[in-house]
Amino acid sequence: MGPALFVIAILGCGEGEAPCEQVRRLDTAYESQAACMAETEAAMIANSEANYPVIVAQCVAAGSNASAPNPVEVRLPPARSEPPRFTSRPARAPKG
């Protein structure tokens, strides 16, 4: 018999090979893994303020720790070899 309750863990993932880490665990408990999975998209949207390039929601058995997903399972942005470049553009002249 499987676990009785599931909760959503929010994981923040870095760039390239950087591991994901648990940022938060939501309080709502779900009776099944399917019920939990149905709420993961809304949970990611509601918790998108975390300072990571990628946010992942994972259903875990209540009372257990979230395991970092395999990097193959999460589409991470590539690691940057140099800082991003910014350019300024001239302001447009008003029409008319």
Each residue's pLDDT tens digit, 28-76: 999 999 999 999 999 988 988 888 888 888 888 888 766 655 444 555 5
pLDDT at residue 26 tops 90: yes
pLDDT, residue 74, reads: 57
- State the Cα–Cα distance between residues 41 and 84, nearest whole angstrom: 29
- Give the containing element (helix H, strand E) for 26: none
Q: What single DSSP character describes residue 89?
A: -
- Give the containing element (helix H, strand E) for 37: helix 33-38
pLDDT at residue 9 tops 80: yes
Please state, as a whole number, how many other Cβ atoms lie within 10 Å of the Cβ of residue 89: 5
- Give the containing element (helix H, strand E) for 31: none
| Tokens linked to 54 | 């990628």
Find all residues with CB under 8 Å of 65, minimum gap 6, and list them: 22
pTM (2 decimals)? 0.65
pLDDT at residue 89 tops 60: no
